[in-house]
Amino acid sequence: MVPEQKLIRFSSRFKLVSVAIVVALTIWLLLAVAHVLTPFVAAIITAYLFNPLVTWLQRRTRLGRALWIAVIYVLAFLTLYGLGTWTGPLIAQQSRDLAAAAPEVASRIQSFFRGREQVELGGIGFDLAPLEAQLIATVSDLGARLSQSVPQLVFSALETVIYLLVYLIITFYLLLQAGQLKQWATRLIPSPYRAEIGALGAQIDGVFSAYIRGQLLLIVIMSVLLYIPLSILRVPSALVIAVASGTLEILPIIGPWTAAGIAMVAALFQQNVPFGLSSVGLAALLGIIYFVLRQIEDHFIIPNVMGSLVRLHPAVVIFSILAGGALLGAFGLFIAIPVAAVIRILLGFVYRKLTDRPELPPPLPPAPVPATA
């Protein structure tokens, strides 16, 4: 007599414990190998950004994905090579000039504050000695970092090449198999819940895609817009400061103020001030320019580039930035806002489930206007 065949069934408690163990081991493994995750994270972000473009080109031309990925690789290489050939030497030279000028700028800061350590405004005394010390420390640290960057790049060249190759290979396969990966992830979801979870995933995808693409475009726009006045006003290392200012835009609230401070300090101790301005006048003018461009960015560029998908209260934004920076450093500052927006979406979803509230219905189309005789 053939014994009855039975399937192994896990109890609900065993399933929960198994999932908890797998999640805990995964987190432990990622923390243990965090130093080698950079090319993989970069590849995931790149593939996520370029997958819509590759998919659109494939559908429009009926050509294979591998061909279009290769074309994008070639175009990206030519673009980066052209930009590097054009701006690379200029940025390197201005960085060296900035590093060489750091001791002189520190000396000028000391001369500027000499005899002005104590000031009174409205009968209230202010001690500027801590500000002087902080400025000198910042300038000295910047000079040291810039001067050490070239030897560090030489010693880490092999590691950089390996990471670059890993990044390119992983990006290629992620772009090539994006459809299969999406189908695999969809099959992991039980079929009765795929539509609902798919809609939730579409909201999260909309937040991430709008934010990441918008931030990358914002860096380019703000770098160009800031380089124009900085070069006209002959601010030393204008290109380096403009690129740094544009890059700092990815750090909400903190970044723009830091960028303005860097430019104003550079102008405050500039030797040759154009257009008959004083150093203080030039620094104030740059402060106004940064403020005006910030208003243009907030009211025109960001709404058109990123839309209104990331809707968070200012207090939540500030808390998210501080928490992201404390947990993950600069990368945490970059992803703090989109992660907070995703958490808001997930919490809203969980809240509706806990309170048995129905999903919000889609807006109705506008009623047709009756024809007039």
pLDDT of residue 325: 77
Nearest CA to 200 among 218, 219, 186? 186
With 70 as the cut, is the pLDDT of residue 214 above it?
yes
pLDDT in tens, 279-335: 778 888 888 998 888 888 777 776 666 655 566 777 777 788 788 878 877 677 777
C-alpha–C-alpha distance, residues 348 and 333, integer Å? 23
- Identity of the residue numbered 100: A
Q: What is the mean pLDDT of residues 26-46?
A: 85
pLDDT of residue 359: 60
Confidence at 373, pLDDT banded by 50, 70, 90: very low
What's the Cα-to-Cα distance from 168 to each of 29, 35, 57, 155, 161, rounded to whole Å?
23, 18, 20, 22, 11
C-alpha–C-alpha distance, residues 50 and 176, integer Å? 11
**Average pLDDT of the chain to the nearest whole number:** 77
C-alpha–C-alpha distance, residues 272 and 265, integer Å? 14
Nearest CA to 136 among 162, 111, 163, 173? 111
pTM over 0.85: no
pLDDT in tens, 13-33: 888 899 899 999 998 988 888
pLDDT in tens, 118-173: 555 555 655 556 655 666 666 566 555 555 554 454 445 567 778 888 888 999 99
CB 329 within 8 A of CB 291: no
pLDDT of residue 348: 86
Confidence at 364, pLDDT banded by 50, 70, 90: very low
Quote the radius of gyration of the chain (alpha carbons, Å): 27
Nearest CA to 48 among 253, 239, 205? 205
The angle subtended at Cα 237 by Cα 85 and Cα 214, nearest 5°, is 70
